[in-house]
A and B are shown apart, each in its own frame.
Chain A
């Protein structure tokens, strides 16, 4: 697998003195679905922000293959939509800020992205008229509308109920598989089950300061076949990751 981005000796210390990350060495391969798993406060969000370029490391480097940071999509824990405008305009935002495509083309792509996440027909709805799960879908459509090479997601489904979350998990794997190696996902989560279900690789982090404790490859087909959630394979993988997480905490 081609490396996409390499973090070498990355540390992050905040002005307050908190050492959020220490000595992170991590190579993310192109086309991977990588989950960052770890307890609260272990620096997962910080790591994601470093990758996104929203923060600078205190030490170490973040080096992209090809030199420049590719197009990035970012999904926050809550949908983070602009409440004063429609779903379509929210999804169009990245294209609008970029400003290179003509307006009609921007609209068409935003509408297509909305229907890709199952929200065709909701173009004119305002965020407050949508359910929590639908808002999250709008947020994902906004992240995907630029056809990013990297999709960074920070606990995107943590606030949702299990049924909605499972459905969005399936949709997400399908969207990732549809881009067949052209999109890398880095997904932050607290949930062992979610990370195993989604990922091709799981990086387990330990807290204070945040370090990489385990790096696990997750075999299995993508998208997941029906019944995967109740299969013995899935249960065995979850047990393995869970033990890894516990060992990292000890």
Chain B
């Protein structure tokens, strides 16, 4: 390993430098070959579109982000509760888990049109689509976590006459936390993807206000730099969600779980 401060600095500086070089090369090539902006805009043009259309794009970003985050919240609540229910009743798990898998493996693009037809409210239908994709990783990881409590600890709880509730609260839930958080991190990215995909499907019908709709709209109007700007914002949202959930994971696990404990010395 490299020395602490220089090592940490380099770890950040190297990808940053690579990114800057990439953008510079992109801009250079676009200018050198005189590529028209409606084919491939350079980073400068995209930046100008981003700042120029900022109020509109920021508004759309909030719409998309709101749907993704609400869907994530619903996924956490329902996925978590269902997982706890499954852990309490294996019969229920056996009965319902296959259907959760079916929901998971069916492509959301294929389900989205149906949901848009069935549910009148567009926002709600987007939310449902995003929820469907985000829900499964939370459920399956939490189920796995609840069932992977240390066997000896389970016996110890039994020996001391622990109630089901005590075993759940003091043993199974803490054991499941690292698994749940790993699922949450995956679900965060998927919720955004689900929201965007559903927006595309809805946007094809000519309505919408989120970032995906801005991409479609900019495509119709041949405002390619704005299209790229919206795309960049979607990526930024994804990165922000991922980083925030990573931070949460680190804060909750750093004292005890191997995945979050920083090697010392």
Interface residues, chain A, CB within 8 Å of chain B?
Answer: 52-54, 72, 74, 76, 78, 80, 82-85, 93-94, 96-98, 126-128
CB of A82 within 8 A of CB of B155, answer no
CB of B159 within 8 A of CB of A80, answer no
Residues of B within 8 A of A52 (CB): 159
Contact of A93 among B152, B158, B160, B261 (CB under 8 A): B160
CB of B160 within 8 A of CB of A98, answer yes
B260 to chain A minimum Cβ distance, whole angstroms, is 11
B248 to chain A minimum Cβ distance, whole angstroms, is 16
CB of A97 within 8 A of CB of B161, answer yes
1/0 contact trace for B144-171 toward A, CB 8 Å?
Answer: 0000001011011111111000100011
Residues of A within 8 A of B31 (CB): none
Are A76 and B152 also in contact (CB < 8 A) when A82-B171, A83-B257, A127-B256 are?
yes
Contact of B153 among A80, A94, A96, A126 (CB under 8 A): A80
CB of A97 within 8 A of CB of B162, answer yes
Residues of A within 8 A of B156 (CB): 74, 76, 80, 93
B13 to chain A minimum Cβ distance, whole angstroms, is 32
Give the complex CA separation of A74 and B159 in angstroms: 8
A16 to chain B minimum Cβ distance, whole angstroms, is 17
Interface residues, chain B, CB within 8 Å of chain A?
Answer: 150, 152-153, 155-162, 166, 170-171, 174, 177, 255-257, 261
CB of A80 within 8 A of CB of B256, answer no
A77 to chain B minimum Cβ distance, whole angstroms, is 9
Are A97 and B166 also in contact (CB < 8 A) when A53-B159, A82-B174 are?
yes
Contact of B170 among A76, A96, A126 (CB under 8 A): A96
Residues of A within 8 A of B256 (CB): 83-85, 126-128
- Identity of the chain A residue whose Cβ is nearest the Cβ of B166 in the assembled complex: A97
A75 to chain B minimum Cβ distance, whole angstroms, is 10
CB of B170 within 8 A of CB of A80, answer no
Give the complex CA separation of A85 and B256 in angstroms: 8
Can you spell out 24 A-B residue pairs with CB atoms less than 8 angstroms apart?
A53-B159, A54-B155, A74-B155, A74-B156, A76-B156, A80-B152, A82-B170, A82-B171, A82-B174, A83-B256, A84-B174, A84-B177, A84-B257, A85-B174, A93-B156, A93-B170, A94-B160, A97-B160, A97-B161, A97-B162, A97-B166, A97-B170, A98-B160, A128-B256
Give the complex CA separation of A243 and B211 in angstroms: 81
Give the complex CA separation of A74 and B156 in angstroms: 8
Give the complex CA separation of A52 and B155 in angstroms: 10
CB of B159 within 8 A of CB of A72, answer yes
- Identity of the chain A residue whose Cβ is nearest the Cβ of B155 in the assembled complex: A54
Contact of A126 among B158, B174, B255 (CB under 8 A): B255
A50 to chain B minimum Cβ distance, whole angstroms, is 13
Residues of B within 8 A of A128 (CB): 256, 261
Give the complex CA separation of A62 and B164 in angstroms: 26
Give the complex CA separation of A127 and B159 in angstroms: 22
Residues of A within 8 A of B171 (CB): 82
A159 to chain B minimum Cβ distance, whole angstroms, is 14
Residues of B within 8 A of A94 (CB): 160
Residues of A within 8 A of B170 (CB): 82, 93, 96-97
- Identity of the chain A residue whose Cβ is nearest the Cβ of B150 in the assembled complex: A80
Are A82 and B161 also in contact (CB < 8 A) when A93-B170, A126-B256 are?
no
Give the complex CA separation of A85 and B152 in angstroms: 17
Residues of B within 8 A of A78 (CB): 152
Residues of B within 8 A of A53 (CB): 159
Instruction: Name which of B150, B160, B161 has the most chain A CB atoms within 10 A of its CB.
Output: B160
- Identity of the chain A residue whose Cβ is nearest the Cβ of B157 in the assembled complex: A97
Give the complex CA separation of A41 and B159 in angstroms: 23
Residues of A within 8 A of B261 (CB): 128
Contact of A54 among B159, B162, B174 (CB under 8 A): B159
Give the complex CA separation of A76 and B155 in angstroms: 10
Excluding A72-B159, A84-B257, 15 further A-B contacts by CB distance (< 8 Å) are A53-B159, A54-B159, A80-B150, A80-B152, A80-B156, A82-B170, A83-B256, A83-B257, A84-B177, A84-B255, A84-B256, A97-B157, A97-B161, A97-B170, A98-B161
